Structure 1
Amino acid sequence: MRLFIYLAAGCMALASMGAQAESVSGLYQVREPIEGQGAEARTAATAKAFETLVLRLTGDSKAAQNPGLAELRKNPQPLINQVGTDAGPPESVEVEFDPGSTERALRKAGLALWGSNRPSILGWWLTDSVDGSNLIGDGQASAQPLRRAAQHRGLPLRLPLADLQEQLLANAKQLESNDPAPLRDAAQRYGADALLAVHAQEADGKWQGKWQLWLGDQHEQGTAEAGDQAALADAVMLAVGNRLAPRYVIKAGASSQLQLQVQGMNLQRYAELSRVLEPYGPRLQLADGGTLTYAVSGNREQLRAQLGLAKLQEVPAEQAPPAPSPTPSPGAAPGQPVTPAPVSAKPFDGLRFRW
Structure 2
Amino acid sequence: MATATACVRSLGVILVGLAMATVVRADQVVDLYTAEVLVTSQSEAERQRAAREGLADLVVRVTGDTQAREHPQVQEALTRAEGFITEFNYGSTRETVEVGGEARPASRLVMRFSSVEVERLLRSANLSLWPANRPGVLVWMVTREGGDLSRVSDSERREQLRARARVRGLPLVVPLNDLEDRLALQARQLWELDEEAIRKASQRYDAEAILVGRYSETTGGQWRSDWQLYHNLGNPTFYVRADSVEGVLSQAIDETANHFASLYAIVPREEGPGTVVMQVGGVDGFGEYKAVERYLEDLAMVRRAGLITLRPGVLTLRLMVEGDRSQLLGMLERDGQLVPAMQSGRISLSGNRFEPEGTLANPLSYTWQ
TM-score (norm 2): 0.69
- Aligned counterpart for 1:187 among listed residues 199, 202, 205: 202
CA distance in 1, matches of 2:145, 2:46: 35
Offset at residue 303 of structure 1 (A)? 0.6
Superposed, which structure 2 residues align to 1:141-290 within 5 Å?
Answer: 142-167=157-182, 169-171=184-186, 173-175=188-190, 177=192, 180-203=195-218, 206-253=222-269, 255-264=273-282, 270=292, 273-274=295-296, 277-285=299-307, 286-290=309-313
Taking structure 1 as reference, are residues 271 and 120 closer, same or farther at Cα in structure 2, changes over 3 Å only? farther
Q: Is the 1:195–1:214 Cα contact (8 Å) retained in structure 2?
A: yes
Is residue 331 of structure 2 the alignment partner of residue 306 of structure 1? yes
How far apart are residue 352 of structure 1 and its match?
A: 2.3
Q: Cα gap change, 1:188/1:102 in structure 2, threshold over 3 Å: closer, same or farther?
A: same
Deviations 1:154-198 (A, max 9, x none): 011122232334235544554455663322222222221111112
Q: For structure 2, which runs of at least 5 residues remain unmatched after alignment? A: 1-25, 98-105, 352-358
Change (3 A) 1:222 1:265: farther
For residue 281 of structure 1, give the secondary structure of its aligned residue in structure 2. strand
Per-residue deviation, 1:47: 2.4
User: Structure 1, unaligned stretches of length 5 or more?
Assistant: 1-19, 324-345
**Gap change, CA 1:292 and 1:114, over 3 Å in 2:** farther
1:294 maps to which residue?
Answer: 317
Contact persistence 1:86–1:93 (CA under 8 A): no
Show the counterpart of 1:329: none
User: Do the aligned residues in 2 keep the contact of 1:276 with 1:307 (CA within 8 Å)?
Assistant: no
Secondary structure (helix, strand or coil) at the match of 1:219 reads coil
Aligned length: 309
The answer for the alignment partner of 1:348 in structure 2 is 361
1:53 corresponds in structure 2 to 58
Which amino acid in 1 is paired with 2:277? Q
Q: In the aligned structure 1, how far is the partner of 2:38 from the partner of 2:245? A: 17
CA distance 1:70–1:114, change in 2 (3 Å): same
- Quote how far apart the aligned CAs of 1:232 are: 3.5
Structure 2 residue 156 is the aligned partner of structure 1 residue 134: no
SS of the equivalent of 1:68 reads helix
**Matched-pair contact (CA < 8 Å) for 1:122–1:192:** yes
Q: Give the secondary-structure state (helix, strand or coil) at the position aligned to 2:66.
A: coil
Q: Sort the Cα spacing of 1:290 and 1:310 in 2 relative to 1 into closer, same or farther, 3 A.
A: farther
Is 1:321 matched with 2:349? Answer: yes
Query: In 2, Cα distance between the equivalents of 1:272 and 1:180?
Result: 40
The amino acid that maps onto 1:321 is L
C-alpha change, 1:47 and 1:303, in structure 2 (3 Å) is: same
Change (3 A) 1:49 1:322: closer
Identity of aligned residues (%): 26
User: CA offset at residue 287 of structure 1?
Assistant: 4.8
CA apart distance, 1:260? 2.3
* Amino acid across the alignment from 1:351: L
For residues 85 and 262 of structure 1, do their structure 2 counterparts lie closer, same or farther at Cα, with a shift above 3 Å needed?
same
TM-score for both structures, normalised by structure 1 = 0.72
